[in-house]
Amino acid sequence: MLRKLCSAIDLRFDPAMLSWAAGPRAEDGIWAAHWYGAVHKSAGFAGAEGPLLRSPVSRKTLCAQAMPHYQKLYDQRLR
């Protein structure tokens, strides 16, 4: 997907984009200590953290109403 994004914005893809040194960055800002714990521990992209959670039956109607909006976003993703 990163290759597709780079292509779409006319940026040369470099495999070095796929990994980085762990730790905080000056540009992280003042909220980094609250928001970026897992990011600061990472050194590259990882797979899913686990299986997707199932939505309770009580939210079935809400999910059905939201799905067309998610489908529209999915249809517009970079190809």
Average pLDDT taken over every residue of the chain: 90
Cα(22)–Cα(18) distance, integer angstroms: 13
The H or E element containing residue 35 is helix 32-35
pLDDT in tens, 31-68: 898 999 989 999 998 888 889 888 888 899 999 999 99
The H or E element containing residue 5 is helix 2-8
Whether 13 contacts 6, CB under 8 Å: yes
What predicted TM-score, i.e. pTM, was given to this entire model?
0.56
**Torsion of Cα atoms, 43 then 53 then 74 then 39, to 10°:** -20
Which sign, positive or negative, has the C-alpha torsion 63, 1, 18, 10?
A: negative
